[in-house]
Structure formats: C-alpha cells, structure tokens
C-alpha cells in the first residue's frame, strides 16, 4: 500500500510536470498515453516523428485517428483517419495555440472532405473541475466547428496543459476522464 508521503511526492511531481508544460505550451503529455472517458471512448495518444496520432476506440474498434503536429504556433490538426480513409485538412487547422490565456480567441478554416470547415475557439475561464480521474484547475475553452453545408458542433472543453482534455460538454451531455492516462505499452487491442 502506498504511503501518504509517497502519494504527496507523486502529486508534487505531477504538479511540477503540469506547470512546466504550461510554461512550454505542451497540450498533451510528451510521451503519449491512454485515456478512458465516461462515454466508453478510449483514446490512445501515440508520439510520432511529425507529432502525434490520437486514436479513438469504442467497443473494441478504432473509429477515428487524428494526426496532430506541434510547432511554435501551437497544435495543428493535419487530418483525420476514418474507416473509409484518411482525409487531410488543407491547410492544417490550429486546434490550440502554443500558449493559452484567459480571453484568448483563435480560429481558422480549411478544406476537409470537399467542403470548407471553420473552427473558432475562446478561453472562457480557468476553473476547478472535479472528474472521476481527480480534481484539476482547467482552462474552460468554448469551441465551435462549422461547415459550409450548415453543420455545427459546439463543445465546452476543460483542458489541462500537459495532460489533455479532462472533460467536455456537448449540449446536455457531460463526458469526463475516468482515470489519469496510462503509460503506453505495445497494444494488441482496446
């Protein structure tokens, strides 16, 4: 059984890594990890030479894979792999700037699957959020995706730099992280 002193050290080390990543503008853990959310979705963040691949699993199958690239400006979405193929964003779409600040807004547009899509986002606040994985001080980011064909997706994301998304709300649905990300090991299935 872990001692209180051991838990305190772990929390301290975790807090230091989070604050260092804040200073460096790192959205996700550099080494990747596995995430489990309350809607049954599992995510696997895999570091690659160009950035990351973020795989989404549900009911034992990959249903989506985002290709991401970090740079001086922030984290970009290069494209999305779906069961029917890989679809790039032209140009890549800025998901998160390298540094988040209260009130900061950003956005952009790109071609995706034959139509123009746009993203607009704003840091609405910094607030404490309690989820099954723990309690965090998170950036509350409101994100809107729209398409030229009239589609809209609105989300309120709770983002902890260095860890990732700990919760999000879409309409009345609340989805939260169930446990801290697990380290990556070779994977045979979900």
Helix spans in the chain (H): 4-24
To the question of pTM greater than 0.85 for the whole model, the response is no
Sheet with strand 105-112: strands edge to edge:
33-36, 42-47, 52-58, 61-70, 74-82, 85-97, 105-112, 115-131, 134-147, 152-160, 164-170, 173-176
Any bridge partners for residue 131, and if so which? Answer: 134
Query: Which CATH code, of 2.40.360, 1.10.8, 2.60.120, 1.10.287, is assigned to 24-176?
Result: 2.40.360
> What pLDDT digit, counting tens, does each position of 87-142 carry?
999 999 999 998 899 999 999 999 999 999 999 999 999 999 999 999 999 999 99
Where does the pLDDT of residue 21 fall: very low under 50, low under 70, confident under 90, or very high at 90 and above?
very low
Number of C-beta neighbours around residue 181 at 10 A: 20
């Amino acid at each position: 059984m872990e001692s209180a002193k051991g838990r305190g050290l772990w929390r301290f080390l975790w807090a230091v890594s989070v604050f260092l990543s804040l200073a460096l503008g790192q959205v996700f853990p550099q080494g990747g990890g596995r995430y489990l959310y309350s809607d049954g979705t599992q995510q696997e963040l895999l570091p690659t030479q160009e950035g990351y691949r973020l795989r989404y699993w549900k009911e034992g199958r990959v249903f989506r894979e985002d290709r991401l690239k970090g740079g001086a400006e922030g984290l970009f979405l290069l494209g999305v792999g779906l069961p029917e193929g890989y679809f790039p964003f032209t140009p890549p779409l800025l998901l998160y700037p390298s540094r988040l600040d209260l009130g900061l807004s950003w956005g952009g547009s790109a071609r995706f699957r034959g139509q123009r899509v746009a993203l607009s986002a704003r840091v609405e606040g910094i607030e404490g959020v309690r989820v099954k994985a723990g309690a965090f001080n998170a950036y509350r980011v409101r994100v809107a995706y729209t398409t030229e064909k009239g589609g809209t997706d609105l989300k309120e994301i709770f983002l902890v730099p260095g860890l990732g998304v700990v919760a999000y709300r879409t309409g009345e649905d609340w989805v939260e992280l169930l446990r801290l990300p697990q380290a990556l090991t070779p994977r045979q299935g979900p």
